[in-house]
Amino acid sequence: VAALISLSFGGAVGLMFLMLGCALPQYNQYWPLFVLFFYILSPIPYCIARRLVDDTDATSNACKELAIFLTTGIVVSAFGLPIVFARAELIYWGACALVLTGNTVIFATILGFFLVFGSNDDFSWQQW
């Protein structure tokens, strides 16, 4: 229960940084909200690969490696998008810093979710 509460707190703090980067009066641009798509897309390849892959094999699996590669591309894109927006002067650099901080917290929360609920025990995310 404590892990679930800390994960929800981490998600709320990460979204707070994202919203501060958008809604503060000196920034007032909502372009950084496009990173929400990356938050939704990032766990999908790994979840699909876990359903398709047998975990009993100790060697590397091409499907799981591809899923990790795609997830890494999505995460890097989420960090790159606010920097591109700031370089194109669509958003201010202060807003970019807040969004990057929010990205760090959100992706750490997503990683924490998979570390806590990813094991094959009685209480796992696969039952949801």
Q: Where exactly are the structural domains of the chain? A: 1-117
pTM score > 0.75 for this model? Answer: yes
For a pLDDT cut of 90, what percent of the chain falls above it?
67
Cα(39)–Cα(56) distance, integer angstroms: 29
Phi–psi pair at 89, nearest 5 degrees:
60, 30
Sign of the Cα torsion 88, 89, 93, 99 reads negative
Quick one: which of 59, 73, 28, 53 has its CA closest to 118? 53
Cα(93)–Cα(27) distance, integer angstroms: 9
- Residue 52's pLDDT band, with cuts at 50, 70 and 90, is confident
Instruction: Encode pLDDT of 58-105 as tens digits.
Output: 566 888 899 999 999 999 999 999 999 999 999 999 999 999 999 999
Instruction: Encode pLDDT of 9-24 as tens digits.
Output: 999 999 999 999 999 9
